[in-house]
Amino acid sequence: MEETRARTRQQVLEAAAGILERDGVQAVSTRSVAAAAGIRAASLYQFFEDKDGLLDALAVHAFDLYLAGKDTLPRTADPVADLRLGWDAHVAFGLAHPALYLLMFTPARPGRRPPAGDRARVRLLGFLDRVAEAGRLRVPPAVAAELMTAAAIGVTLRLVSAEDPDTGLSARMRDTVIGSVVTDVAPAEESGLAPRALALDAALAAADDLPLRSAETALLRDWLERLAQ
């Protein structure tokens, strides 16, 4: 029973996604989606309270598709190269699914970002932690994540809305933003304390058994954060 219900819900979301990408958000209604999914309109309310609930679920569905694509990306020995691959995959998803992308990143109700959006941020922070561990991050991972997310969304929205998108714009923005938060060399060759502090902080975060009490670890990481600023 539950399996059938889950399958029907997925069928509804896929039908809604098809309508959204083909005809736009205004064409998405409980009636049109129910017809496309092959169920009665009344049955749709077993899954979604109203159209807003349907759109919220559709945004989650879009993030699931987005993250599934990110899962297929290869992980190389160069964490900075992996950051570039992740950026390119982000932009490519937006260009391939413009209507879904707009639903994900320009919600009609601000503050209602789907939980899957938080999963995407955690994924990015994981990549940035690897850069920090390599001693190549100039700023704390959380700061780098905010900069990269804002820039990637901004350039993708610009390309999605353009009649003749300049795909070279994404590469230029990518290299500018990533270049501003990472170093070209390891900390042994880099002047300044920030990369070294961030590398040690990342190592502390990843360590399972430290010869320090929790209060000492917290104090040390606070000092490292200050040195990284």
Contacts of 225 (CB under 8 A, 6+ apart): 140, 197, 201
**Residues 38 and 70 occupy one common structural domain:** no
- How many domains in the chain? 2
To the nearest 5 percent, what fractions of the chain are helix, strand and coil? Answer: 70, 0, 25
Query: Domain for residue 58, yes or no?
Result: no
Give the CATH number of the domain where residue 146 resides. 1.10.357
Query: Domain for residue 217, yes or no?
Result: yes
pLDDT tens per residue across span 4-29: 888 889 999 999 999 999 998 888 98
**Residues 9 and 89 occupy one common structural domain:** no
**Residues 92 and 185 occupy one common structural domain:** yes
The answer to whether the CB of 159 falls within 8 A of the CB of 95 is yes
pLDDT tens per residue across span 123-163: 999 999 889 888 888 888 888 999 999 999 999 999 998 87
Q: What parts of the chain have a pLDDT lower than 50?
A: 189
Give the CATH number of the domain where residue 7 resides. 1.10.10.60
Query: Domain for residue 222, yes or no?
Result: yes
User: Which residue range(s) make up the domain with 147?
Assistant: 63-228
Query: Domain for residue 54, yes or no?
Result: no
**Residues 72 and 156 occupy one common structural domain:** yes
CA-based nearest residue to 187, from 126, 116, 138: 138
CA-based nearest residue to 222, from 208, 205, 206: 205
CA distance 224 to 201: 6
Query: Domain for residue 53, yes or no?
Result: no
Task: Provide the pLDDT for residue 158.
Answer: 93
